[in-house]
């Protein structure tokens, strides 16, 4: 910090000197005839009046520089802030800071920045809200990277992701080899050797990272398994399946991510309607 202040002060005084040289004394409220500056061997020297003026300005410059540094650091922090941890279950949740590369235990209310990594162990879980408007819960033994442009990447484990009903959300969720564009929906993503995207409610546009120009739309009750060796969208599209009614209901009933937090997810009512209106009739 002291080095930065020193460099800023040097730049300030050099700028002051150059303006003084080219604009004359009136710009600084000095009397004519007292503004002579000699340049000898690249060394600047000034009259005693000029030196006195510099001395008077130094405290002002110090305060201005201190304030500028504070604003700069505050602006940088605000620009990189990406989300907040809302709830932690079973304590074994850690955050690896992108800036300090240090691991610290996650707590409710902790702010996350771009590049931070959230890790869970055992049966620990966490709920995180991103600045983009989406909220997600991560299960045990998961690793999530908070990415630029208000996105997240799940590299291990599982996550339940949703956006509040009625809110326009434009964000993306990255799994293994594929990326889902969220369209006001509730999806479940599980990453193991392969990556499974399941739409519990709403719809998503899913693309392969290596084929970003082609996409497949998944709607309520559909899922796709993205194999580690999939390269072609045609093969990828043919793997889309509809989740059987009894299996879908069991998924929701058995999901710790859905049921084991202190509050229901924002789309719980929509999920209930899906089960009642879409899947129950299929069981009859």
Residue 33's pLDDT band, with cuts at 50, 70 and 90, is: very low
Who wins on pLDDT, 23 or 100? 100
Who wins on pLDDT, 272 or 42? 272
Q: What is the pLDDT of residues 183-238, one digit of tens each?
A: 778 999 999 888 899 999 999 988 887 777 778 889 999 999 887 665 555 556 56
Mean local confidence (pLDDT), 84-101: 91
Average pLDDT, the chain: 77
pLDDT value, residue 160: 97
Who wins on pLDDT, 167 or 248? 248
Who wins on pLDDT, 48 or 59? 59
Asked if pLDDT for residue 162 goes beyond 90, the answer is yes
Who wins on pLDDT, 23 or 248? 248
Mean local confidence (pLDDT), 150-162: 92
Asked if pLDDT for residue 159 goes beyond 90, the answer is yes
Mean local confidence (pLDDT), 112-136: 94
Mean local confidence (pLDDT), 163-171: 77
Domains of the chain (ranges, CATH numbers): 2-79 (no CATH), 90-283 (2.60.120.1440)
pLDDT value, residue 54: 53
Who wins on pLDDT, 115 or 237? 115
SS (H, E, C) the chain: CHHHHHHHHHHHHHHHHHHHHHHCHHHHCCCCCCCCEEEECCEEEECHHHHHHHHHHHHHHHHHHHHHHHHHHHHHHHHHEEEEEEEEECCCEEEECCCCCCEEECCCCCEEECCCEEEECCCCEEEEEECCCEEEEECCCCEEEEECCCEEEEEEEEEEEEECCCCCCCEEEECCCEEEEECCCEEEEEECCCEEEEEEECEEEEEECCEEEEEEEEECCEEEEECCCCCCHHHHHHCCEECCHHHHHHHHHHCHHHHCCCCCCCCHHHHHHHHHHHHHHHHC
pLDDT value, residue 253: 93
Residue 276's pLDDT band, with cuts at 50, 70 and 90, is: confident
């Amino acid at each position: 910090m002291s080095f930065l202040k020193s460099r800023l002060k040097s730049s300030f005084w050099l700028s002051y000197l150059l303006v003084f040289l080219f604009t004359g004394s009136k710009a600084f409220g000095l009397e004519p005839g007292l503004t002579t500056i000699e340049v000898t061997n690249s060394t600047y020297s000034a009259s005693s009046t000029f030196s006195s003026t510099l001395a008077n300005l130094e405290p002002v410059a110090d305060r201005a520089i201190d304030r500028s540094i504070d604003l700069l650091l505050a602006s940088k922090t605000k620009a990189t802030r990406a989300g907040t941890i809302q709830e932690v279950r079973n304590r074994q949740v850690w955050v690896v800071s992108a800036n300090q590369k240090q691991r610290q235990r996650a707590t409710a209310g902790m702010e996350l920045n771009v590049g931070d990594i959230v890790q869970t162990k055992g049966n620990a879980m966490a709920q995180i809200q991103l600045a983009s408007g989406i909220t997600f819960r991560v299960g045990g033994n998961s690793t999530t990277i908070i990415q630029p442009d208000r996105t997240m990447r799940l590299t291990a484990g599982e996550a339940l992701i949703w956006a509040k009903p009625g809110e326009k959300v434009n964000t993306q969720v990255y799994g293994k080899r594929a990326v889902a564009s969220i369209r006001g929906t509730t999806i479940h993503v599980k990453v193991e050797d392969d990556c499974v995207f399941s739409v519990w409610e709403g719809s998503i546009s899913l693309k392969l990272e290596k084929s970003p120009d082609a996409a497949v739309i998944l709607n309520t009750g559909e899922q796709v398994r993205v194999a580690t060796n999939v390269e072609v969208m045609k093969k990828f599209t043919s793997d889309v399946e509809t989740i059987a009614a009894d299996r879908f209901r069991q998924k929701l009933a058995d999901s710790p991510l859905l049921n084991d937090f202190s509050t229901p997810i924002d789309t719980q009512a929509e999920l209930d309607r899906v089960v009642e209106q879409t899947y129950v009739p299929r069981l009859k």
